[in-house]
Amino acid sequence: MVSLGLNDSFHYRKAIDYAIELYEATVFLVRKIKGSDTGQLYAMKVLKKATLKVRDRVRSKMERDILAEVNHPFIVKLHYAFQTEGKLYLILDFLRGGDLFTRLSKEVMFTEEDVKFYLAELALALDHLHGLGIIYRDLKPENILLDEEGHIKITDFGLSKEAIDHDKRAYSFCGTIEYMAPEVVNRRGHTQSADWWSFGVLMFEMLTGSLPFQGKDRKETMALILKAKLGMPQFLSIEAQSLLRALFKRNPSNRLGMGIYFITA
Mean pLDDT value of segment 228-240: 95
The one catalytic residue among 45, 65, 143, 156: 143
The one catalytic residue among 65, 99, 127, 138: 138
The one catalytic residue among 32, 45, 140, 153: 140
Is position 161 annotated as part of the catalytic site? Answer: no
Higher local confidence (pLDDT), 119 or 29? 119
Q: Which domains does the chain have, with CATH numbers?
A: 10-93 (3.30.200.20), 98-254 (1.10.510.10)
Is position 186 annotated as part of the catalytic site? Answer: no
Mean pLDDT value of segment 9-36: 62
pLDDT digits (tens, 9 = 90+) for 95-128: 999 999 999 999 999 999 999 999 999 999 999 9
Is position 37 annotated as part of the catalytic site? Answer: no
Mapping DSSP to helix (H, G, I), strand (E, B) and coil, where does residue 187 land?
coil
pLDDT digits (tens, 9 = 90+) for 210-231: 999 999 999 999 999 999 999 9
Mean pLDDT value of segment 1-17: 43
Higher local confidence (pLDDT), 121 or 19? 121
Mean pLDDT value of segment 194-204: 98
Q: What's the pLDDT score for residue 7?
A: 42
Mean pLDDT value of segment 137-159: 95
Q: What's the pLDDT score for residue 13?
A: 47
Mean pLDDT value of segment 44-70: 84
Q: Is the pLDDT of residue 235 over 90?
A: yes
